[in-house]
Amino acid sequence: MKRNGFKVLLCVLSAIFFTSCSGANAPVTSSASSSVSVASSEVAQKLTAASSAPTEESAPIPKEGAKLNVHYIDVGQGDSEFLELPNGQTMLIDAGNPENGSQIVTYIKNLGHNKIDYLIATHPHADHIGGMATVVNGLDIGKVYMPKASSNTKTFEDLLTAIQKKGLKINTAKAGVNILNAGALNVDVVAPVNITGDDLNQYSAVIKATFGDNKFLFTGDAGVESEKQITADVKADVLKVGHHGSKTSTSQAFLSKVNPKYAVIEVGKDNSYGHPTAAALEKLQKIGATIYRTDKDGTIIFTSDSKTITVNKKSSSIKEQAPPSSAPVAAAVAPQKTAPVEKTPEVTAPATENKSYTVYITKTGGKYHTGGCRYLKKSKIAISLSDAQSQGYEPCSVCNP
């Protein structure tokens, strides 16, 4: 968010962490970069070793009928988006503030996942990478992507240290990088293109995820300068609005190119930045986008079957960890942009009417599931619905037991 703390430490950091850097064998000096504690030759050796290990594996292809779930997690004033990909893999883009780290780990585990196959830090600001060290420590991690931008903050150092300790390498996130290409599923980095200067927001990795006809764009805190440079096709059904709806993002030209049906603003209640701005909201309304906001809607989940997108609001932040105060609203949405949003009631019968029903829990998760739920691990434990509820388990949002 702020411009403070930016230093071009890249000669040191990129030499250590980024595999595409030509200076990978340069000796590490300790002159101007003493604030980055990870810049030791020991670390450099470890990461060089890690980066030389061939770990390329092709991603599985989505099975017939598989769905993409995109969770815009309510982390207050910050960003975090978790993708349950239709090929069974997972992706996390940003991890909120430091206090959100363990909440995000719990959220992901409750969905039945222990691994993040693709971890993306859009840029080094604390409201995006704050919780990421905890996420790296708390879950299995596949590939890590970051733009070539760094900060001398402790939060950023902690993240680098966590990555280093796990023996992971960092892949550079920049325009043209393909993260995943598996049948109808494709994830590309479309920015940063050619950013210079000291505004870290502009270095934000902008990610486009495509599943069949449906497209999702994640912009981090990218501003107008970055938006202007993007040459890739950014047309998308769902736009994660740049920089929490700040006036420095979402230029009319860019918005016209994206032309979203839905806009999601990840923003904290009564934040001191004045996000989202009236200017951003007005532009989004004018283009006809339905706006969702984490400060008003809580965590928002979009589901795509590759043709149609549905929206589900959880109405609770991960902080509260409380059941929704009212039944979640499922909105089935016709693919035409002009069609009104049809709100349909949840089809699941209220749980209280059927207390003797058998559901399944796992040793570590906090959710109960139907027997056939794909989020149920092998170690499933049968339990009556009433017991599951009285022990504090919550219904899985996927199988709706």
In this complex, which beta carbon is closest to Zn ion, that of residue 192 or of residue 395?
Answer: 192
Q: How far is the CB of 115 from Zn ion (least distance, A)?
A: 26
In this complex, which beta carbon is closest to Zn ion, that of residue 71 or of residue 125?
Answer: 125
Q: How far is the CB of 77 from Zn ion (least distance, A)?
A: 8
Q: How far is the CB of 259 from Zn ion (least distance, A)?
A: 24
Q: How far is the CB of 273 from Zn ion (least distance, A)?
A: 9
Give CA torsion, residues 175, 176, 179, 184, to 10 deg. Answer: 120
Give the C-alpha distances (Å, rounded to integers) separating 231 from 175, 190, 227, 234, 368. Answer: 9, 8, 9, 8, 45
73 binds Zn ion (CB under 5 A): no
1 binds Zn ion (CB under 5 A): yes
Measured distance CA(100)–CA(130) in Å, rounded: 8
8 Å CB contact between 119 and 101:
no
8 Å CB contact between 399 and 369:
yes
Site for Zn ion (CB under 5 A): which residue of 127, 158, 225, 295?
Answer: 127
Nearest 5°: CA angle at 85, between 181 and 376?
140
Residues, the chain = 401
Look at residue 293 and give its three-state secondary structure.
strand
Measured distance CA(376)–CA(233) in Å, rounded: 37
In this complex, which beta carbon is closest to Zn ion, that of residue 267 or of residue 289?
Answer: 267
Residue 210 belongs to what H/E stretch? strand 206-211
Q: Taking Cα atoms as reference points, which of 271, 290, 285, 317 lies closest to residue 80? A: 317
Q: How far is the CB of 306 from Zn ion (least distance, A)?
A: 30
180 contact partners, CB below 8 Å, separation of at least 6: 59, 85, 89, 91, 118, 186, 187
Number of residues that bind Zn ion (CB under 5 A): 5
Span interacting with Zn ion, options 20-28, 90-98, 103-111, 119-127, rule CB under 5 A: 119-127
95 binds Zn ion (CB under 5 A): no
8 Å CB contact between 146 and 170:
yes
125 binds Zn ion (CB under 5 A): yes
Name which of residues 205 to 224 contact Zn ion (CB under 5 A).
221
Q: Taking Cα atoms as reference points, which of 94, 69, 91, 92 lies closest to residue 79? A: 94
Whether the bond between 192 and the residue before it is cis, its omega within 30 degrees of 0, is: yes
Q: How far is CA 129 from the centre of its chain?
A: 11
Name which of residues 214 to 273 contact Zn ion (CB under 5 A).
221
148 binds Zn ion (CB under 5 A): no
Site for Zn ion (CB under 5 A): which residue of 100, 150, 153, 201?
Answer: 201
117 binds Zn ion (CB under 5 A): no
In this complex, which beta carbon is closest to Zn ion, that of residue 235 or of residue 269?
Answer: 269
94 binds Zn ion (CB under 5 A): no
Span interacting with Zn ion, options 83-91, 121-129, 182-190, 378-386, rule CB under 5 A: 121-129
Q: How far is the CB of 125 from Zn ion (least distance, A)?
A: 3
Task: Convert residues 41-60 into a mask of x (bound to Zn ion by CB under 5 A) and - (unbound).
Answer: --------------------
119 binds Zn ion (CB under 5 A): no
199 binds Zn ion (CB under 5 A): no
In this complex, which beta carbon is closest to Zn ion, that of residue 127 or of residue 237?
Answer: 127
Matching residue, tokens 């170690």 = 379
Contacts with Zn ion, residue ranges (CB under 5 A): 1, 125, 127, 201, 221
